[in-house]
Amino acid sequence: MTEPATCADGKRLAGFSVFALFFIYFFQAIGGERIYSKSIRIFALDNLHFSSSEATYLNSSFWISFSIGRFLGLWWPYSDYGRTFFWFGFRYFVEHNNEVALWVLMHPMLLFIAPLFPSGVAWSDHYLKMSGIGITILIAPMGSIGGAAYIWILGFVYANHGPRSFLYMVAVYCRCLCQRLPDVLRRLSSWR
């Protein structure tokens, strides 16, 4: 199904290291994506006091921007510029915490969140010799565990510390996304 040693010219340790990095990547990418998508409407209602219809429009526009980001990710890969904008844009939103900042900054951020999953699949196929079953084994456990873990932690923190905790959870997600996984993978693949 998967042969981790193939990414490192027969060196199993390097192959397993790449495999472990992808587990962490999918845990992070899918888990953070879930907290954003499942909680943005509740945050808008509880913290910014949107009406129900405004929060629904926000959630709908979230999914439209997310779909556009997935589509644009085919031609416009996740870049250093994207990571920088993503991090500083979110920091601005945390500091200002108002409706305009949410509406204006959410959509460009989604253009950088959306391609994470397909980019991870492409990277895993580039660095590991993967079959369909191998991709499923790589993605399904970490994506589902990451999604469940992030949602559970957010629910606990949200219930105990209020709606603003959503911002801090997304800030942790943003910070983790700003790490340089492609550079780490390039270094590991140089073990070949």
CB 174 within 8 A of CB 86: yes
Mean pLDDT of the chain: 76
pLDDT for the residue 192: 47
- Give the residue-averaged pLDDT of 6-30: 75
Q: DSSP letters along 139-171, please?
A: HHHHHHHHHHHHHHHHHHHHHHH-TTHHHHHHH
Chain segment 123-158, per-residue pLDDT in tens:
777 777 666 776 777 777 877 888 888 889 888 998
Mean pLDDT to the nearest integer, 183-190? 57
Helix 165-177 and helix 80-96: axis angle, to 10°?
Answer: 160
Instruction: Looking at mean pLDDT, say which of 23-27, 45-49, 86-90, 165-169 comes out highest.
Output: 45-49
**R_g of the chain computed on alpha carbons:** 18
The answer to pTM > 0.85 is no
